[in-house]
Amino acid sequence: MQQFIDTTLSGLAQGMVFAAFALALVLIWRSTRIVNFAQGSMAMATTFVALALIQAGWNYWAALAAALVSGFVLGAVVERVVIRRVEGGPELNAVIVTLGLFVAIQAAVAIIAGSSFQSFPAPFGLRGFTIGGNTIALTPNRVYVIAAVLLTMALLVALFRFTRVGLAMRAAAFGQEVARLLGVRVGRMLTLGWALAAVVGSLAGLLIAGGSFVYPAYMDSLIVFGFVAAVLGGLDSPIGAVVGGLLLGLALSYVSAYFGGSSVVNLAALVILVVVLLVRPGGLFASTVARRA
Amino acid sequence: MSDLQNAGQTIAQPPAGNPATAAAPASTSSRKGRIPLPQSTLLRHLLAVVLCAVAAVVLLESTDPFRNSQLATLTYYAIAAGGLTVLTGLNGQISLGHGALMAVGAYTTGLFLSADEPLPLPVVFLAAIVVTALVGAVVGAAASRLHGPYLAGATLALAVGLPGLALKFKGTLGGEQGLRVRAPRAPEWFGDAIKTLTGNPATATKWLAYVGAIALLVTYFLLANLIRSRIGRTWRAVRDNDVAAELAGIRLGSWRVLAFVVSAACAGLGGAVLAIVVRLAAPSAFTLVLSLALLTAIVLGGLGSLLGALIGSALLVFLPQVTTDLGSAAGLDGTEAAQLAPFVYGVVLVAAMIFAPAGIVGTIRLRWLAQRAKRAVARETGR
Amino acid sequence: MPDTAVAPDATRTSGATLEVRDLTTSYGPVRALDGVSLTAAPGRITAVLGANGAGKTSLLRTVSGLVRASSGTVLLDGADVTRAAVESMVGRGMAHVPEGRGVIAELTVEENLRVGALFRGKVGREEFDRVYDLFPRLVERRDNPAHTLSGGERQMLVIGRALLARPRILLLDEPSLGLAPRIVAQIFGLLRQLVDAEGLSVLLVEQNARSALSVADVGIVLNLGRVVATDDARTLMADEDLRHAYLGF
């Protein structure tokens, strides 16, 4: 029983990170119909920015803020300089471009920061809370991870629901041409969308790095998990991405605990993805809107 | 305009690894005054194979063992890239899982060769091809309903997930350390033949390079004919206009699966050659970077072109050396300099898609066709 | 439809004059517009008619800047806007309602309207209420996603959304397409009232020539990208040869 609870708790915490990462993918997919395979590399790069600052003596929160800001800038630059040129073109071209960015950014970080494992600090304790003499898998740091993701989601909902810029971003995403005719600066909104998505992706990268090791390829699995979570939820649906992330986090946690250990976790993600794509290609939360624009 | 459209279509018709055939799909009038080529596609491809075989022998005999081993590396990249270019270029499906499929071929080869009385090498290769093709059929069946980013993501999951099997079945597959592969020795007649032919000693490396070269030539010969056959045309139809193809009675799903199977078979053979050349099948050899490197090769060369896949593979083999040297010269240490190659792959992928989506071969051919069209127009108007 | 809804509005600036001179637009080798000249004046409905492929939609798309003209000029109240950015046109007083009832399907009715007013900054509630007064059917659909609307409701939504931009000239692309005749009559009637009450300019592109000419002041007939006739709507209506040749009735 204890093991089941622990597995569930760590699955939830992990699922929250997957959810954040999937959300970042969905934000970009919704507006530009591109799956950003470079998301993981970009997040990794900003985590290394944070690491460098922490090693230079900054405190965690300042480094976190700086990393998120650099994520924002990186996302905007990537969209503006590279993605803008393949938007609306053949979908294969965009896929290949994001894959190219994925490799290039990862290699660039490896050249600058080296390929070795470096430990990344956690802002809160990594020892589980004790309830009735039992130490459970819920650590202060995991509480922080869950809270940080929830806060981010709340902020995003508020942005898209209640602000003018949020409305303009949605209009630009769902009806580019109409939005332009109505005076919305669509190009700017797409850049902003990529920048915001990069911030959310960076947050996921920073959260999963906390109390663990980072190296240039440490996000490789997370791209797959984030993608699986996003597809699980339907790629178009932010809520779906969150639910998909949590479901995947739990599923992988159970697989790891009860069926064969961590070496098959990636394989389990593959199986889940294939099953979802074959049984329900639109995802669990497929929206019924037939897309015209 | 119509000439440009034709040019766009001919990108999809790769030559049989021989630049001479690039001139073949021309109007009859422009053929006058050229060296007459055999009319039959099969014969033309055979001729190309013979020429390439001669070139391979010359190349292998005139270079040192180090170059020999580099050329051996080139062969397995090129075999796998040839399969991938058929899939992506002709059938419009992307795969980031070809590194993992190569792993299937490599591990199969390793297991078969570890027997006390190993089967003859061609049989082992055939087994590797069959096993990988079977895996490819399963993947292809799942992939046949996917497109673009979905397919990329699914095959990405394959690339990241499959090496986990090697860790899971540590006993048979050797875990993180990998599986040592006993490369077969060169037979007696090979040493004799080389000695009588060139007077050079026949090293083990050279034997493996020859094995790779033969596998490469056979693969490309078969692929080139396949591309020009009804099957190749159907694949292009499926890629260019799936709705029309479906209305014409083509069963899209089966054709896509077939493309995946053919492509996987090539990856399997590539993996098999890799196993004997490297003498090791380990998870670290089949990372995502390998899959992306193959993608880089075919994008660089031009999607759908076998010649392009060959050129792209050559770049993959020789570029890392150049960049690593440059990096070391610029003061980077060994591991940092080694990362320059993937960095260049990435930049090249991005740049190629933005500036030259047709790749090296495609871009040159487009230029050439445009030139010819211009000359033709000039002739018409001059008359 | 209540007459009071379109009572003259003192704050509204009067309509703008659109002048198109010798406009040519090409898609690759195909010339969609071939030296088109026309004028849309304030307080008038100018109908552009013609068969499928005559260049009607291309005309509107070029005027609003969605498509770049290869030559010619577009003047809005005398100012050259040929090369102006699409996004800036609505700020200059031009609202273009594209073909196919361009609602943003994923947004609600209310959100669609809000997008229409976005560029103006803060817009008073009473302006939204005015649109809802014009189209009472939208009130009950206010919080529904736009993809749940019927064809007629969508047309009302896009016209209402365009009005929230306070345009001085309205470009309408095939508003009657796929609508029941009764609803077409209703929408054209409303258009007439708006023009008469507020001095708005309307450039209306229609394949349904009979309905369009019945509401328009001026008619322009396009064929294969060229203007073949420009005249008073009533005169065009009476020209039987022209009607048979180009307008199909």
Cβ pairs bridging A and C (under 8 Å)? 79
Q: Is the pLDDT of residue A290 over 60?
A: no
Distance, in Å, from the CA atom of A131 to the CA atom of C202, rounded to the nearest integer, reads 73
Enter the ipTM. Answer: 0.86
pLDDT band at A190 (very low <50, low <70, confident <90, very high): very high
State residue B57's pLDDT score: 79
A238-258 helix and A2-32 helix, angle to the nearest 10 degrees? 150
pLDDT band at A158 (very low <50, low <70, confident <90, very high): very high
State residue B380's pLDDT score: 67
B65-85 helix and B98-113 helix, angle to the nearest 10 degrees? 120
Distance, in Å, from the CA atom of B349 to the CA atom of B17, rounded to the nearest integer, reads 23
The SS3 assignment for C19 reads strand
pLDDT band at B381 (very low <50, low <70, confident <90, very high): low
Cβ-nearest to C147 among A164, A186, A289:
A289
Chain A environment of B289 (Cβ under 8 Å): 103
Residue B56: name the closest of B37, B77, B72, B76 by CA. B72
Mean pLDDT of C144-172: 89
**pLDDT > 70 in chain B, percent:** 89
Mean pLDDT of B269-285: 89
**pLDDT > 70 in chain C, percent:** 94
State residue B37's pLDDT score: 64
Mind listing the pLDDT tens digit for each residue in B142-186? 888 777 788 888 888 888 888 888 877 877 787 778 888 887 777
Q: Is the pLDDT of residue B21 over 60?
A: no
Mind listing the pLDDT tens digit for each residue in B64-98? 778 888 888 899 999 999 999 988 888 888 889 89
- Which residues, other chains included, contact A275 with Cβ-Cβ below 8 Å and sequence gap of 6+? none
Cross-chain residue pair A182–C145, CB shorter than 8 Å: no
Cross-chain residue pair A179–C115, CB shorter than 8 Å: yes
Per the CB < 8 A criterion, the answer to whether B334 and B107 are in contact is no
Chain B environment of A111 (Cβ under 8 Å): 327, 332, 336, 339-340, 343
Cross-chain residue pair C118–A181, CB shorter than 8 Å: no
Q: Is the pLDDT of residue B317 over 80?
A: yes
Residue C202, φ and ψ in degrees, nearest 5: -130, 130
A281 Cβ under 8 Å from any chain B Cβ: yes
State residue A289's pLDDT score: 40
As given in the structure block, the two tokens for residue A92 are 């294969």
Residue B153: name the closest of A176, A223, A210, A85 by CA. A223
Structural domains present in chain B: 2-16+41-382 (1.10.3470)
Mind listing the pLDDT tens digit for each residue in B327-338? 888 877 877 888
Give the residue, B381 or C186, on which the prediction is more confident: C186
Give the residue, C76 or B241, on which the prediction is more confident: C76
Q: How far separated are the first and last CA of chain C, in Å rounded?
A: 29
Chain A environment of C99 (Cβ under 8 Å): none
Per the CB < 8 A criterion, the answer to whether B158 and B287 are in contact is no
Give the 3-state DSSP-derived string for B236-258, with helices as H, strands as E and coil as C.
Answer: HHHHHCHHHHHHCCCCHHHHHHH
Q: What is the mean pLDDT of chain C?
A: 85
State residue A286's pLDDT score: 59
State residue C150's pLDDT score: 86
Distance, in Å, from the CA atom of B360 to the CA atom of B358, rounded to the nearest integer, reads 7
pLDDT band at B18 (very low <50, low <70, confident <90, very high): very low
State residue A278's pLDDT score: 78
State residue B285's pLDDT score: 84
Distance, in Å, from the CA atom of A129 to the CA atom of A124, rounded to the nearest integer, reads 12
Q: What is the mean pLDDT of chain B?
A: 80
Distances (CA, A) of B325 to A131, B52, B69, B285, B333: 59, 30, 19, 22, 10
Mind listing the pLDDT tens digit for each residue in C110-137? 999 999 888 888 888 888 998 898 888 8
A265 Cβ under 8 Å from any chain B Cβ: yes
Residue C190: name the closest of C4, C16, C40, C48 by CA. C4
Number of domains composing chain A: 1
Per the CB < 8 A criterion, the answer to whether C90 and A181 are in contact is yes
Residue C85: name the closest of A183, A166, A31, B122 by CA. A183
Residue B346, φ and ψ in degrees, nearest 5: -60, -50
| Of the candidate ranges A104-113, A165-174, C25-34, the one whose mean pLDDT is the lowest | C25-34
pLDDT band at A250 (very low <50, low <70, confident <90, very high): very high
State residue A151's pLDDT score: 94
Mind listing the pLDDT tens digit for each residue in A87-108? 877 888 888 899 999 999 999 9
Q: How far is residue B238 CA from its own chain's centroid?
A: 21
- Closest CA–CA distance from residue A123 to any residue of chain B (Å): 30
Q: How far separated are the first and last CA of chain A, in Å rounded?
A: 51
CATH topology of domain C14-101+169-247: Rossmann fold (3.40.50)
DSSP assignment of A229-273: HHHHHTSS-HHHHHHHHHHHHHHHHHHHHHTT-GGGHHHHHHHHH
State residue B356's pLDDT score: 77
Q: Is the pLDDT of residue C223 over 90?
A: no
Cross-chain residue pair A96–B349, CB shorter than 8 Å: yes
- Which of A34, A96, A220, A272 to probe by mutation at the B interface, max B CB count within 10 Å? A96
Strand segments, DSSP code E, in chain B are 179-180, 280-281
C228 Cβ under 8 Å from any chain A Cβ: no
Cross-chain residue pair C107–A174, CB shorter than 8 Å: yes
As given in the structure block, the two tokens for residue B244 are 């029309």
- Which of C86, C90, C173 to probe by mutation at the A interface, max A CB count within 10 Å? C86
- Closest CA–CA distance from residue C239 to any residue of chain A (Å): 36
pLDDT band at C2 (very low <50, low <70, confident <90, very high): very low
Mean pLDDT of C54-58: 86
Q: Is the pLDDT of residue C182 over 80?
A: yes
The SS3 assignment for A290 reads coil
Please tell me the pTM assigned to this model.
0.83
Q: How far is residue B202 CA from its own chain's centroid?
A: 27
Chain A environment of C67 (Cβ under 8 Å): none
State residue B9's pLDDT score: 38
DSSP assignment of A160-227: HHH-HHHHHHHHHHH-HHHHHHTT--HHHHHHHHHHHHHHHHHHHHHHHHTTEEE-TTTTHHHHHHHH
Cross-chain residue pair C104–A177, CB shorter than 8 Å: no
| CATH code assigned at A261 | 1.10.3470.10
Per the CB < 8 A criterion, the answer to whether B71 and B213 are in contact is yes
Give the residue, C2 or A198, on which the prediction is more confident: A198
Distances (CA, A) of C37 to A235, B153, C33, C139, C226: 47, 52, 10, 41, 9
Q: Is the pLDDT of residue A147 over 50?
A: yes
Q: Is the pLDDT of residue C6 over 70?
A: no
